[in-house]
């Protein structure tokens, strides 16, 4: 392990970072790339409790940043985007997304958060920021980020005796092969790492309010999910089915025809219709559609559209 000079603290003195000698060499190359007008996106993965946040925040960030005040820690996509795109960050700053990578997941490539993230990473290229993405599972990330948009992967793990402080390093090519060969079985051994490194916790470099901020974020996230702010994939499918049934009914198809069009059973259509009626999502004119055909609205109706 080496002890290297890191970012300047609030007292104007450089902090001392304990770092693996191979990692120190990697980060020097990263900074050389920065001087050649390249940005950097690093991924840190690992199971809960392995120390991946400690590794990213107290080892990687203080070596890359010029000042400790130039390190920004975010916990969700919105905060991350606002921090990167806003006026408080400048060239050479380090922005960390700590386990708030939901918008980067492979299952959300068609959703708005993912598109916003990709647009942001293009902006980062122009702004020359150092980005550190901390994720529980590298294989959950979308291919465009895991393979093409990131430079290095550091997978934090433990020794056989469950001792923390070990990481596997994968450069761009190794990382690509790992994603392709290891994704199916979540196998981080599918490709031989460039090297196995060690890291110390450097606890004195962890921000004092980190634990409090992360706890507040998790509590707020749980509240959002409890109050219905998050929509499960099964709920989305159900809403699409409801909307289709309602609009096909407007076109004067009976439930038997609707079932055939949607490729579902008559019982399924009937069940959705009964549920929508009980929830008050079926307008009165739809309940007796054929008796009031002239009163049916012309525009398509979405029962979940905000008023």
pLDDT at position 240 is 75
Q: Is the pLDDT of residue 107 over 60?
A: no
Which token pair is 1? 């392990």
Q: How confident is the model at residue 110 (pLDDT cuts 50, 70, 90)?
A: very low
CA dist 68 and 207 (Å) reads 10
Q: Which of 63-67, 137-141, 303-307 has the lowest mean pLDDT?
A: 303-307
Using the predicted structure, report yes or no on whether residue 294 has a pLDDT greater than 50: no
d(CA 125, CA 13): 30
Q: What is the spatial distance between Cα 206 and Cα 202, in angstroms, rounded to a whole number?
A: 7
**280: confidence class by pLDDT, cuts 50, 70, 90:** confident
Taking residues 27-50, what's their average pLDDT?
Answer: 90
pLDDT at 224: 58
Residue 141 gets which letter from DSSP?
B
For the segment 93-100, the average pLDDT, to the nearest whole number, is 88
> What is the C-alpha R_g of the chain?
25
DSSP-derived secondary structure letter, 139: G
* 212 has a pLDDT exceeding 60: yes
Give me the sheet containing 71-74, strands edge to edge.
Answer: 71-74, 94-98, 130-135, 40-45, 152-158, 164-170, 195-198
| Distances from the Cα of 91 to the Cα of 42, 65, 207, angstroms | 17, 10, 22
Calculate mean pLDDT across residues 5-24. 93
Integer Cα distance of 142 and 116 in angstroms: 13
Cα 224 to its chain centre, rounded Å, is: 17
How far is it, in rounded angstroms, from Cα 49 to Cα 17?
A: 21
The answer to whether residue 187 scores a pLDDT higher than 70 is yes
Determine if the pTM surpasses 0.85. Answer: no
Tokens matching residue 174: 């190794």
Winning range, highest mean pLDDT, from 114-128, 223-237, 283-297: 114-128
């Amino acid at each position: 392990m080496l002890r290297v000079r890191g970012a300047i603290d609030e007292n104007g003195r450089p902090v001392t970072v304990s770092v693996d000698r191979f990692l120190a060499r990697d980060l020097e190359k990263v900074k050389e790339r920065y001087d050649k007008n390249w940005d950097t996106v690093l991924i840190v993965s690992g199971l809960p409790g392995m120390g991946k946040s400690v590794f990213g925040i107290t080892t990687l960030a203080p070596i890359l940043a010029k000042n400790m005040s130039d390190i920004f820690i975010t916990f969700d996509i919105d905060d991350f985007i606002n921090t990167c795109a806003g006026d408080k960050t400048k060239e050479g700053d380090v922005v960390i997304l700590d386990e708030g990578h939901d918008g980067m997941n492979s299952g959300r490539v068609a959703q708005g958060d993912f598109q916003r993230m990709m647009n942001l990473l293009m902006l980062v290229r122009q702004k020359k920021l150092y980005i550190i993405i901390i994720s529980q599972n590298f294989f959950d990330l979308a291919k465009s980020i895991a393979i093409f948009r990131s430079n290095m992967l550091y997978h934090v793990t433990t020794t056989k005796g469950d001792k923390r402080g070990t990481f596997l390093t994968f450069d761009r090519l190794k990382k690509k092969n790992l994603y392709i060969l290891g994704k199916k079985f979540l196998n981080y051994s599918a490709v031989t790492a460039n090297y196995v490194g060690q890291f110390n916790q450097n606890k004195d470099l962890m921000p004092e309010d980190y634990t409090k901020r992360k706890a507040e974020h998790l509590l707020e996230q749980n509240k959002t999910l409890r109050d219905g702010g998050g929509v499960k994939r099964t709920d989305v499918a159900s809403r699409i089915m409801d909307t289709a049934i309602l609009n096909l009914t407007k076109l004067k198809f009976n439930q038997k025809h609707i079932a055939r069009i949607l490729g579902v059973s008559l019982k399924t259509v009937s069940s959705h219709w009964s549920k929508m009626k009980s929830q008050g999502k079926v307008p009165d004119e739809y309940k007796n559609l054929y008796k009031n055909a002239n009163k049916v609205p012309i525009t398509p109706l979405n029962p979940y559209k905000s008023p």
